[in-house]
Amino acid sequence: MKERFFILILTAFTFLSSCNQKQKALTPDEAAEIAKEAYVYGFPIVMNYKTLYAYALEKRSPEYKGDFNQMGCEARLYTPEDKAVVTPNSDTPYCMFWCDIRTEPVVISVPEIEADRYYSFQLIDLYTHNFAYLGTLTTGNQAGKYLIAPIGWQGEKPDDITDIIFCETNLFFTVVRTQLMNENDIDNVRDIQGQYQLQTLSEYNGKEAIASALIDNFPAWVEGEEFTVDAFKYLNFMLQFIDPVESEKALMEKFAKIGIGTDAVFETSQFDEETLQALKEGVKEGFAEIEEFIKKYGSDPLASAKIFGTREFLTKSAKENYNLDKFYLLRAVAAQSGLYGNSGFESTYPAYRFDAEGQPLNTSENKYTITFKADELPPVKSFWSITMYDGKTQLLINNPIDRYLVNSAMMDNFVLADDGSLTIYVQKDSPGKALEANWLPAPDGPFYAVMRLYGPEEVALSGEWVNPPMIKN
């Protein structure tokens, strides 16, 4: 790409990998500083590559969903047997797919969906920005056809396209959520998923898809390398699918000094031992900065609403919420603590990890309750849920009634107190038949629970409404 060529020329005097010479132009301190900044900047992109490799490239992966521009859907509930993803969502069966729009745009078509059912298409670029949403809370439940194109595309828009959405990067990922009302609703969800369509623009116009500019040198993912200097080989590879925004061109020039963002393959062998050690130290410091931020702000119940969103939103949030001039640390924290989390207006995730007294949760010894006053149920435009997770495995738990969550769709079945309040019983054994409708089964040991608010009202986003505490009884 033009920008990458420009960057390569500007930094050629510091990058000599074409001759397999050792990198000596930088001092160790300079190398460490650049590596730290590049690691924080690039960590979300690297984690995105991990998903890309498993979902769209490695056909032997148990997580494989399909090739580029092919939709993969699963109309089923997650159970304790699903072990690939920790803290899984059991509210909304998923479709997932990766799109390549280097050659031509794609068109996403959605059917009309009944008014009381939530659905969403979360569109995520290579930076992990949630650059757009389609669905109940944004475009509505009416049928629509949406053309997704790279920035600068000037092709002809078909007359029946509802809207054009532009993406900063040439590859993007989409997570589709369709609300499951109850265990008897799965066939309805499957039918809706079957009506979602993903086509290249040529296919949409009744023609053959334009041949893609194939790249067959995607590096094989090696688990654990995301936490080492080898993360830079994935970052360097992914940057070829990105034209940097104007404000980041100088940053790309800096990264190129350590071989990131150039046309050459990133190899640690290009550096002398002292410089390589400095790069490793920079990576270590970068990850420590991410971990320190999580430790400092992780208990904030509104944290998820502050660290996921568009480039513009994250820039504003970094300044207003954390007094940061750049948002890259927020983006990295989001990738480490919950990759592909929803933007706050779409959903938030208050978590229960301690009881009201600040003690860790454990149902081998204790019973707990969560009580919502009559007028203080979770304020949402769509629906809410509370899901139980094993504290050791971070997975759903086996239980006698195969119930992994309670949610607002169960309101007609809940037992309410005389004053109209709702109490959820969190314990390993049934509270008795009379109250079993309100039982959230827990493991015989440590646990945590996550509340999900789909379409949170402003009082939830502002902190005016706070989820009630977990009370030990």
Digit-coded pLDDT (tens) for 333-387: 999 988 999 999 999 998 899 999 999 999 999 999 999 999 999 999 999 999 9
Q: Provide the pLDDT confidence category of residue 17 given band limits of 50, 70 and 90.
A: very low
Among 204, 230, 261, residue at a domain's last position: 204
Interacting residues of 343 by C-beta distance below 8 A, sequence separation 6+:
130, 133, 305, 308, 309, 310, 313
- Which of the residue ranges 13-22, 49-58, 168-177, 357-366 would you say has the lowest mean pLDDT? 13-22
pLDDT given at position 40: 98
pLDDT given at position 18: 40
Digit-coded pLDDT (tens) for 104-155: 999 999 999 999 999 999 999 999 999 999 999 999 999 999 999 999 999 9
> 284 and 227 in contact (C-beta within 8 Å)?
no
**Measured between alpha carbons, how far is 78 from 231 in angstroms, rounded to an integer?**
31
Nearest residue to 452 via CA among 344, 374, 376, 363: 344
Residue 253, domain member (yes or no): no
Q: How many CB atoms lie within 10 A of CB 27?
A: 12
pLDDT given at position 230: 97
- When comparing pLDDT for 62 and 472, which is higher? 472
- Rounded to 5 degrees, what angle do the CA atoms 415, 177, 308 make? 100
Residue 267, domain member (yes or no): no
**Measured between alpha carbons, how far is 264 from 457 in angstroms, rounded to an integer?**
49
Residue reference for tokens 């309040």: 421
Structural domain range at position 425:
350-472
pLDDT given at position 16: 40
**Measured between alpha carbons, how far is 267 from 26 in angstroms, rounded to an integer?**
16
- Which of the residue ranges 15-24, 159-168, 448-457 would you say has the lowest mean pLDDT? 15-24
Digit-coded pLDDT (tens) for 154-210: 999 999 999 999 999 999 999 999 999 988 899 999 999 999 999 999 999 999 988
- Which of the residue ranges 13-27, 36-50, 172-186 would you say has the lowest mean pLDDT? 13-27
- Domain tally for the chain? 2
The CATH number of the domain where 135 resides is what?
2.60.40.1610
Residue 453, domain member (yes or no): yes
**Measured between alpha carbons, how far is 62 from 82 in angstroms, rounded to an integer?**
11
Q: Provide the pLDDT confidence category of residue 24 given band limits of 50, 70 and 90.
A: low
Among 204, 222, 250, residue at a domain's last position: 204
Digit-coded pLDDT (tens) for 395-438: 999 999 999 999 999 999 999 999 999 999 999 999 999 999 99
Residue 325, domain member (yes or no): no
Among 153, 180, 204, residue at a domain's last position: 204
Q: How many CB atoms lie within 10 A of CB 5?
A: 11
Whether residue 62 is predicted with pLDDT greater than 60 in this model: the reply is yes
pLDDT given at position 216: 74
Q: Is 301 left (phi over 0), alpha (psi -120 to 50) or beta?
A: alpha
pLDDT given at position 84: 67
Residue 385, domain member (yes or no): yes
Whether residue 46 is predicted with pLDDT greater than 80 in this model: the reply is yes
> 305 and 162 in contact (C-beta within 8 Å)?
no
The CATH number of the domain where 370 resides is what?
2.60.120.1600
Which amino acid makes up residue 452? Answer: R
**Measured between alpha carbons, how far is 424 from 275 in angstroms, rounded to an integer?**
57
What is the arithmetic mean of pLDDT over 44-73? 95
Digit-coded pLDDT (tens) for 277-333: 999 999 999 999 999 999 999 878 889 899 999 999 999 999 999 999 999 999 999
- Portion of the chain with pLDDT greater than 70, in percent: 95
R_g over Cα of the chain? 24
Residue 430, domain member (yes or no): yes
Residue 452, domain member (yes or no): yes
441 strand-pairing partners = 427
Mean pLDDT for the chain?
92
